[in-house]
């Protein structure tokens, strides 16, 4: 995920929380929007980066305009190898084409217009959060960086809804001090490597389990390089600390 975008998003929300400190319930209600950024870093970053580019209409290949979902599905069947990624329109609505984190199958993410960022359709039980985002807009004023940061934060919440990650995000919020369960589990390193190499857009930062060990997925889209990075064990970290103390 682009570091500048993350800094703008987090910076705008932190600033709003500070300005709203006299209203602690409002400032606290912004926390899920803040944590959404870190949730997306854990294996959702690449799809969201494309989603953000499609929203802005920049730096993403345009795949075409389709008169129906059926027309797009027919097109995708003949263009899946190599798998495409980019922006498109279906019946006047904007979408970005991404991939399911675990299976690598293509997924469409509907990109909302700017005016829809105030409320994600279909999201329930988040009235306090969206009220807090409204208050944040009011206290931050017209600074372009702050406005863009809030737009990006709201779009992150839309993406979580569109990607069907609402339950996973709720678990993330409820267990902030714990690791999320692995995305996939494999009996052997060979099976995990086969999954990684066949995935069209591996979920960078996601955790996978191989036997009794955990690995982080590393993926660099520009170079195409991908790897499984071993989680250090607690014992290994203790040894490093002891070595540094000698």
Q: Which string of DSSP letters, residue by residue, matches 152-192? A: HHHHHHHHHHHTT-HHHHHHHHHTTTSPPPPSEEESSHHHH
pLDDT at 231: 62
Phi-psi region of 243 (alpha: psi -120 to 50; beta: other; left: phi over 0): alpha
User: Quick check: 59 pLDDT over 60?
Assistant: yes
Place of tokens 């170079």: 223
What's the rounded Cα separation, in Å, for the pair 89 and 96? 9
Res. 122 pLDDT band, cuts 50 70 90: very low
* pLDDT mean over 155-177: 85
* pLDDT mean over 181-190: 90
User: Quick check: 63 pLDDT over 60?
Assistant: yes
Res. 10 pLDDT band, cuts 50 70 90: confident
pLDDT at 46: 79
Res. 179 pLDDT band, cuts 50 70 90: low
Most confident range, picked from 16-20, 146-150, 229-233, 238-242: 16-20
pLDDT at 125: 52
- Helix 31-41 vs helix 166-174: crossing angle, to nearest 10: 110
pLDDT at 85: 85
Contacts of 186 (CB under 8 A, 6+ apart): 192, 195, 208, 209, 210, 211
β-pair partners for 227: 218
Q: Which of 3-7, 74-78, 140-144 has the lowest mean pLDDT?
A: 3-7
Identify the three-state secondary structure at position 104: coil
Q: Give, rounded to a whole angstrom, the gap between the first and last alpha carbons of the chain.
A: 38
What's the rounded Cα separation, in Å, for the pair 48 and 55? 10
* pLDDT mean over 108-125: 72
β-pair partners for 120: none
Most confident range, picked from 4-18, 138-152, 189-203: 189-203
* pLDDT mean over 189-201: 92
43 or 168: which leads in pLDDT: 168
* pLDDT mean over 155-175: 87
What's the rounded Cα separation, in Å, for the pair 160 and 163? 5
Contacts of 55 (CB under 8 A, 6+ apart): 94, 111, 112, 155
Q: Which tokens go with 9? A: 């998003």
Res. 118 pLDDT band, cuts 50 70 90: low
Q: What percentage of residues in the chain have a pLDDT greater than 70? A: 86
What's the rounded Cα separation, in Å, for the pair 126 and 139? 20
Are residues 158 and 112 in contact, defined by beta-carbon separation less than 8 angstroms? Answer: yes
Res. 241 pLDDT band, cuts 50 70 90: very low
Q: Which tokens go with 46? A: 């690449």
pLDDT at 105: 86
Concatenated DSSP letters of 60-99: S-EEEEESSHHHHHHHHHTS-SSPP-EEEEETTEEEEEEE
Mean predicted lDDT score pLDDT of the chain = 83
This prediction's pTM: 0.74
Q: Which of 104-108, 173-177, 211-215 has the lowest mean pLDDT?
A: 173-177
Query: Residue 198: which of 104, 126, 108 has the closest Cα?
Result: 104
pLDDT at 67: 97
């Amino acid at each position: 995920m682009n570091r500048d975008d993350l800094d703008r998003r987090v910076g705008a929300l932190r600033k709003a929380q500070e300005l709203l400190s006299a209203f602690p319930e409002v400032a606290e209600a912004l926390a899920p929007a803040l944590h959404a950024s870190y949730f997306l870093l854990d294996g959702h970053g690449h799809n969201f980066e494309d989603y953000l580019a499609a929203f802005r209409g920049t730096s993403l290949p345009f795949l075409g305009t389709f008169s129906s979902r059926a027309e797009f599905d027919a097109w995708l069947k003949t263009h899946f190898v190599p798998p495409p990624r980019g922006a498109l329109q279906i019946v006047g609505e904007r979408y970005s084409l991404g991939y399911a984190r675990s299976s690598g199958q293509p997924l469409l993410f509907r990109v909302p217009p700017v005016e829809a960022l105030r409320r994600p359709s279909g999201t329930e039980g988040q009235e306090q959060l969206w009220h807090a985002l409204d208050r944040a807009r009011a206290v931050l004023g017209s600074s372009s960086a702050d406005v863009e940061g809030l737009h990006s934060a709201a779009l992150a919440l839309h993406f979580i809804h569109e990607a069907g990650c609402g339950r996973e995000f709720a678990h993330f919020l409820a267990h902030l001090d714990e690791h999320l369960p692995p995305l996939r589990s494999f009996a052997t390193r060979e099976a995990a490597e086969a999954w990684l190499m066949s995935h069209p857009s591996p979920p960078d930062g996601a955790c996978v389990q191989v036997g009794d060990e955990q690995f982080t997925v590393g993926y660099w889209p520009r170079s195409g390089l991908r790897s499984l990075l071993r989680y250090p064990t607690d014992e290994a970290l203790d040894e490093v600390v002891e070595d540094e103390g000698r």
